[in-house]
Structures are given as C-alpha cells and as structure tokens.
Chain A
C-alpha cells in the first residue's frame, strides 16, 4: 500500500444512543476507523444499521454520545459553535434524497450561493459579480448548464437535482465529504453519470469521501476501503478488493451472497440467514448478529465483542474468526 495519502480523519469508539420510550436505541455502537486523504471509505449495511447516523455524528449533526473524532489532528468534538462553523468549510455532506433536501423556493443559484453567503466569503451587496462568477464555476464543475441558474428544483429531474446537492457541498472547497446514499434515488443510467462525476471531482480536487450506501456494487466500485455495519456495530473493515474476495465475518459473507448478479450464467449461491434484523433498542450483550448467524455459539452472546486486525488492514469483529474456528 505504498504512496497512500496521510490520515485525514480518525474515528475512535464512536457511539450515538437515542433515548426512546422503551429504552435506549443504540444507533451507533463503538465504531472506529481512519480515512486517508484523497481516498474513499465505503460504509455498507442494511436499513436501520446506523450508517447514516454515524455519518451525521462525525459531522456533529448529531452530537455523539461518546468517542473521539479527530479531523486533521484536531479533536472536533471539543469545538465550540464558532469553530464548528468554520469547520463546515472543510467538512460537508451530500444528502440522499435530492427531492427532499433542496429548498423548493430557492432557485439553483440561490441554493449554491447560500453556503458562500453564510460563511461570509462573498457578499451580495459588495461582490455580486464575484459571487455570480463563483456560482457559474461550481455549476460548470458539476455539469449543470448555466441556463439553469434561475430554475427551481421542481423543474429539474433527479440527476440534475443531485448535481445541485453536490454543488452545494463543493461550494466551500471542502476536504472531506460525507456522501449519504447520494445515488440511491437515481435510475441506473443517471446513477452512473453521477458516480463518474463524483470520481472525477475526487481526482481533480483531492477530496476524501465517506460514502454511505446499501448498494454493494456501487460501494465496491467507488471505495478504497469498505466498512460493514450491522445493527450499529461495525462487523468488518477491509480494502475493497479483499473484502469481496475474502470476506471473514459470517454477516458479510451472507450479505455478499445475496446480491443478484446480472449474469444468467453465474447462479447465486445464497447463504441463508434466519429471520430479519432485530431491534437496536436495549440490545443484548455480545454479537448482535448471533441470532441469525449459522456459526453462533454461547460465547458469542456472553461477552462483548472486540475488533481485531485479523490480517493486515483487515479488521473483523467475530469471536469465532478471531479464535480461528471458522
């Protein structure tokens, strides 16, 4: 792994619990990882596994319950309101649903201007021309035609709307972007266009992505490393190629085997899992996948799980893998 970038983000033992009427919902429970500058960490898991909450907790859009988030060497959980506001220039987010995440009463240019004005980088009164120029630059960058400056989101299709979402995130020249299911709402042909755009921008601007998705083919395509989550816990993390070639955790294996392959000559050999995702409210001790796991033993639910580096760069949270039993 020569010549990879320097570490830009370090997350340690991150936890986010939500109080709910019948107890404590463990949305994110003890997740740790690092991302190198200019790379992409893909986060996969099924709905409700806490992947979006984790993305938001890193940006402090949800205040983490416990843990550390270090961005470029600074502990950002200690930042006050003002420091946090300037941090937003470096850390941005692209949301999932381009139909719900844009203000319907703002034109394309107003939507892209907003972060520039909020951060006080431009002013409508004194620097109108510079502002307009910057908006046009950003629109060019994401492939939005200049004639669209005065259109409203409802006049545009999903692909173009998501380009506005990307433009807003890019407006402040950030270093790190949380991409929360940015292509899930788009059709495959449009999805491919947006994925290509995001990769081009990463190469050009040296961006670092935390790419959250439930689509395993997309995550393999775009990520350097992949982190798999299950019910708030991280179960495995490995370089993309290795995770797909040699998954270690039983959940990852089952998840990968469930992907329908678009080739009639490659039939699926699905590893069946019992039942469905259980509730993350007041979870029991130990491995949360144990109830559905074909390899589970009593030991799996009688002690807390630990994450270990099983092979270089390959982290796994499974007692039986750690003991070398499976």
Chain B
C-alpha cells in the first residue's frame, strides 16, 4: 500500500503511577493516507495526546512506556530508530502543533528566532541570512508581518501565537503534521481563521495531517477520515461520511447525541450516562459497556475485536459480528 504514510499497529502505551499501571493506549490501529487529514476524536483521558506523543516518541519515560506495537512511517518502524535518527525526523518529516500556544513558546526568545531555530537545526549548512529570510517568509505565510520578527510571545494575542507555533511546525515543510487540539484555546472566529490557514498550507505543501480534537464540528469541516477513540482504544474508524452518516458504534452515536444541534430543535440532549472507566482498572469486556444502552452480558465479559466491513468502515462492537457484513480483523 503505497499511499499509506503512517501505519500504527497494535500500539500500547502505559504509565506507571503510584495508583498502578495506567493503560493509556491499548492496541491502537490507525492508518493515515498520503495527503489526507485524519481526525482523532475523543474525550479527556481517552488517549489522544498519548497516541500523538507516541508517534513523535515523546512519551516521558519514566513514567510512560511503549509496551507494544509498531509505528510505520513511510515504511520504517519509528520505534526501532535510534534517538539521533528520530531527532532528524521530528520537525523535518513529522511536526507537531501543541494545544496551548500560551505555554508552547519560549517566553524569553523572539518569535522570529524560534522559527529560525528549527530551520538551523535541520539545515545547518544554510547561510545565516538565507535562514533568516526563510524564517521571515514563514511568518508572512501564516499572516504575521515580518516586521514583528523581534517581538516576544507576550506581545502577541492567542490566535497570533498559534500562528507562530504553526510557522515553526511548517518551517521545514514536513510530510506529516500532528495537530493536537490546535484551536481549543481560541475563540470561534479565530479558530475559523486558523483552521482555514492550516487547510490552505496543507494543500499547498501536500502535507498529511493527524488532527486531534474533541470537536466533531471541526472534524467535519477539516478531515477526510475519522477515528473515534475511547478509553485508549479505537472504537470506530472510517471516512467522514461513514462516521457521520452511517454511525455504527454506540459511543459515537452518544457523542452525536450529546452536542446541541444548531439546525434542529431538541428540547433535551441524549446524554451518555456515567463516565469513562478508570484507566488503572479497565473492565474485562467492552470498555463502553457500562454506559451503553445496548449492552448485554456478553459485552461485559468478552473483549470486542475491531471488525472491518467490506467498505473499510471499522468498528469495535459485537453487535456487528452477526450482521454478516463484517469480516474479522486482528
């Protein structure tokens, strides 16, 4: 499969804490195709950020540890690379935009120099004035006048800071961008501006993107495929149309019921009862069983496998086992 840029297989990540082993990510499978945007949707603590950091090999160890799985990027297993090789990939091949622009910039370094830094690291032979010129170009590209090169982060608003972070991430034209809740800290009008900019830049450079968010609206407007993550497991994966129009998993269904709809008038939201299970003591069966209105005894004892339908729509729920239209997979 040549069009696959990132292929995550059975990735499991644990954190050892005083309260026990936190199973943050369990046998996650995820595929990102070249030039596409994949939305990873889930709630706080579902393992979204752990997955992103796992791909970048930025899981703090201790307490975190990759306990199993493979991450194929362009055919190479990232988990088998040396730290030096990995450093060459970070920022140049795969870049990350972090959630909070207020804390992800260095407060005592000018924004221009922070963009310059990543260019210098990956292109050490580039003459100084050319590197600087490139940094200024990046600023202009994200819509900041280069006359603000010498300004410090505190002189910028939240939306402008996030633009700087994006300029840093894109400075070396990476093939893949991981955006971890890039607009969660921003107002809705600024969010729309920033997303529009990411979309344009992505198209211009043919970058693939893994967009992590909890906002189903942002995904609908920006992604080609969607993965829904719950309690460290991918519970549903498919194209935008499959997830939004042919929803299979009860959790995905619950998420859609939980958001107030602007186009229709529902007096009461169809909230999901209960909460996500404690990641130190995960249930044996389906992790969503306790909150699921369709749950049977079998759901509580038997762990459901990820099933793949003929059209590539994947779901982790035993309700679709017997429907005959599913084929088994890992």
Interface string of B259-291 (1 = CB under 8 A from A): 111110111111111010000000000000000
Whether B44 lies near A187 (C-beta < 8 A) is yes
On chain B, the residues within 8 Å of A254 by CB distance are: 189
On chain A, the residues within 8 Å of B28 by CB distance are: none
On chain A, the residues within 8 Å of B268 by CB distance are: 196, 199
On chain B, the residues within 8 Å of A255 by CB distance are: 188-189
Interface residues on B, range: 35 or more
Which among B222, B260, B265 is the interface contact of A195 at CB below 8 angstroms? B260
Whether A195 lies near B269 (C-beta < 8 A) is yes
Interface string of B206-234 (1 = CB under 8 A from A): 00000000111111111000000000000
B240 at the interface (CB under 8 A from A): yes
Interface string of A251-294 (1 = CB under 8 A from B): 00011001111111111101011001100000000000000000
B69 at the interface (CB under 8 A from A): no
On chain B, the residues within 8 Å of A241 by CB distance are: 265
Which among B44, B196, B217 is the interface contact of A262 at CB below 8 angstroms? B217
Closest to B257 in A: A192
B159 at the interface (CB under 8 A from A): yes
Whether B160 lies near A268 (C-beta < 8 A) is no
- Complex Cα–Cα for A5 and B239 (A): 48
- Complex Cα–Cα for A270 and B269 (A): 27
Which among A217, A244, A258, A276 is the interface contact of B160 at CB below 8 angstroms? A276
B191 at the interface (CB under 8 A from A): yes
On chain A, the residues within 8 Å of B265 by CB distance are: 241
Whether B157 lies near A276 (C-beta < 8 A) is yes
Which among A192, A220, A263 is the interface contact of B271 at CB below 8 angstroms? A192
- Complex Cα–Cα for A124 and B191 (A): 50
Closest to B159 in A: A276
What secondary structure prevails in chain B residues at the interface with A? helix
Which among B187, B219, B245 is the interface contact of A46 at CB below 8 angstroms? B187
A182 → chain B closest CB, angstroms: 14
Which among B157, B215, B240 is the interface contact of A264 at CB below 8 angstroms? B240
Within 8 A of A (CB), among B281-305: none
- Complex Cα–Cα for A192 and B267 (A): 12
A22 at the interface (CB under 8 A from B): no
On chain B, the residues within 8 Å of A267 by CB distance are: 221
Whether B191 lies near A258 (C-beta < 8 A) is yes
B109 at the interface (CB under 8 A from A): no
- Complex Cα–Cα for A96 and B284 (A): 36
Whether B220 lies near A193 (C-beta < 8 A) is no
B72 at the interface (CB under 8 A from A): no
B321 → chain A closest CB, angstroms: 25
A10 at the interface (CB under 8 A from B): no
On chain A, the residues within 8 Å of B259 by CB distance are: 188, 192, 217, 262
Whether B43 lies near A260 (C-beta < 8 A) is no
B67 at the interface (CB under 8 A from A): no
Which among A46, A158, A199, A260 is the interface contact of B218 at CB below 8 angstroms? A260
Q: Which among B159, B195, B218, B221 has the highest number of chain A CB atoms within 10 Å? A: B221
Q: Quick one: given A216-B262, A268-B221, are A190 and B275 in contact (CB under 8 Å)?
A: yes
- Complex Cα–Cα for A261 and B216 (A): 8
Closest to B271 in A: A192
B149 at the interface (CB under 8 A from A): no
A126 at the interface (CB under 8 A from B): no
Q: Quick one: given A192-B271, A244-B262, A268-B221, are A258 and B43 in contact (CB under 8 Å)?
A: no
On chain A, the residues within 8 Å of B193 by CB distance are: 272
- Complex Cα–Cα for A134 and B116 (A): 62
Whether A46 lies near B189 (C-beta < 8 A) is yes
A159 at the interface (CB under 8 A from B): yes
> Could you list which residues of chain A lie within 8 angstroms of chain B, going by C-beta atoms?
46-47, 157-159, 187-193, 195-196, 199, 214, 216-218, 220-222, 241, 244, 254-255, 258-268, 270, 272-273, 276-277
> Could you list which residues of chain B lie within 8 angstroms of chain A, going by C-beta atoms?
43-44, 157, 159-160, 187-193, 195-196, 214-222, 240-241, 244-245, 254-263, 265-273, 275
| Top 10 closest pairs, chain A to chain B, by CB | A260-B217, A221-B260, A192-B271, A192-B258, A258-B192, A46-B187, A187-B43, A262-B216, A192-B269, A217-B260
The 12 sampled A-B contact pairs (Cβ below 8 Å) are A188-B216, A189-B43, A189-B258, A189-B271, A192-B259, A258-B189, A260-B191, A260-B220, A262-B256, A263-B263, A264-B241, A267-B221
